[in-house]
Amino acid sequence: MKSYLVKFAGTLIGALVLIVLVGYLYFFEIRKESEKAKKENIFPTINEGQINEIILKYPSSTVVCQKDGGSWFILKDSKRFKADDKVIGSVIENISKIKIDKVASETLTDLSEFGLVTPEAEVIAKTPEKEYRILIGGESPVGSGKYIQVDKDSRILVVSRSSVWEFLSNSANDLRDKQVLSLNEGKIKRIRFKWKDSSFEIERNNGSWIGKDIPDYVDIDQSRVWAILRTFVNLKIDNFENDEPNNLAAYGLDKPIAEIDLFQYGKPVRVSFGNKKESGDYYVKLDLDNSAYSVSEFVLRQIPESVNDIRVRRIVKLDAEKVRGVEINRGDNKISILKEGNKWKLGGDNSKKVDESKVGELIADIGSLEVEEFVDDNPKDLTSYGLDKPEIVLTVLEADKKKTLLFGKKENKKVYAKLADGKPVYLVGGDILSKITSSGNELIKK
């Protein structure tokens, strides 16, 4: 019995040693090889800079991209279109950095098992010396991998789906450069806007935009114009609709709803807007080519329908630091606030302490008052607006200047207003009336 136990113990120890050896072999050798395979690029020697052609083949289409003079182009229907160099650069980087997750099969067997008989995509990258080819097949049943075959390698590899998603179902339009305009902002001296049957122009004079054949008192919002200009000088489209449309009427481009002409070096570059798509985008056409494109509604809404859409809406420009006084006349009730040194005084009365914060709020409210509606630029009679005998006359003393605002009748939740020395009549938010002090006591510090 003792001899038997000794023999059994020896056998058990031997088995344990074998298990340890097998475990070591798996965890430290086989696993090491596996980790090495995972880190291996499918094309370890590929040179990204030498790739000059990429071909993407799909079951129903083929996309050919070629490099010429440092830029990439798409070949489509015997024509050549500018490609998006950044997108192509991303494709090339992906090709060079795809890593092997694991080897699914060391030898070719039944390719249909891996979805490689009719692959989802075939990617070919060419350099002057060599061609690199990837067949992308079906999904790996475990994890989120894709089966691929590389060049003439007999192995079937598994790579992460994220490393090849960029090659799946691309069209020529996906790779084309969507920037269809590239103008020199500094060289554009005139812009024409058109909505249906009305149009107007602005032009640049000494660095500022002014209305062409528009009265001088119409103050153009410079920041608004520059924002419009920057939308169009590097215009990017959302989609290529048709490179050779036979019927512009199908897109509403035979009778555009809006147009913008950007005059560069004295010559206009026109963008025309047609019908609205179901997606909410609008069809557009450039006079530089025959193609029909589409852009977001945001681009269309940059075009002002009238000059009022790009006018300055701030009624009074104030520098709060330079304001020395405010005078308010409400019929027989008159309020005067004057600044002496750094202190505000109510009507020159030093016995009453003025609440500085309330005066600051009043000045801020006046300075931020904006036009809600341009009513009449050249009124013949102010009576209908109640501005012949205004309800409130408010004067701001700024340094050596006086700026006087008149407030007339109310209409709905708005009130008519104008500058005393200006022509235009505006409608502004009626809440300004409650913000204008009605009694000097409101400004006294409690």
Nearest to 426 by CA among 376, 365, 389: 376
Digit-coded pLDDT (tens) for 234-250: 999 999 999 999 999 99
Q: What is the pLDDT of residues 108-161, one digit of tens each?
A: 777 888 999 999 999 999 999 999 999 999 998 877 799 999 998 889 999 999
Instruction: For the chain, list the domains and their CATH numbers.
Output: 48-175 (3.30.1490), 185-310 (2.60.40), 320-443 (no CATH)
Residues 79-102 as b or e (16 or more Cβ within 10 Å = b): eebebbeebbeebbebbbebebbe
Which amino acid, residue 70?
A: G
pTM above 0.75, yes or no: yes
What torsion do the CA atoms of 147, 173, 251, 288 make, to the nearest 10 degrees?
180
Collapsing DSSP to helix, strand or coil, 432 comes out as helix
Question: In this model, does residue 30 exceed pLDDT 70?
Answer: no
Tell me the two tokens of residue 50: 């030498």
Which neighbouring-strand residues pair with 71? 68
What residue type is 283 in one-letter code?
Y
Phi, psi of 433, rounded to the nearest 5 degrees: -65, -35
> What is the model's pLDDT at position 435?
93
> Highest mean pLDDT range out of 17-26, 93-102, 351-360?
93-102
Lowest mean pLDDT among 18-22, 149-153, 212-216, 259-263: 18-22
Within 10 A of 390 (CB to CB), how many other CB atoms are there?
23
Mind listing the pLDDT tens digit for each residue in 155-208?
Answer: 999 999 999 998 887 888 999 999 999 999 999 999 999 998 899 999 999 989
Beta strands in 291-421 (DSSP E): 292-295, 323-330, 333-340, 343-346, 371-376, 392-398, 401-411, 414-419
Q: What angle do CA 422, 427, 429 make, to 5 degrees?
A: 125
Dist CA 360 CA 321 (whole Å)? 10
- pLDDT band of 217, cuts 50, 70, 90: confident
For residue range 297-318, what is the model confidence (pLDDT) as tens digits?
Answer: 999 999 999 999 999 999 999 9
H-helix segments, 164-296: 172-175, 222-233
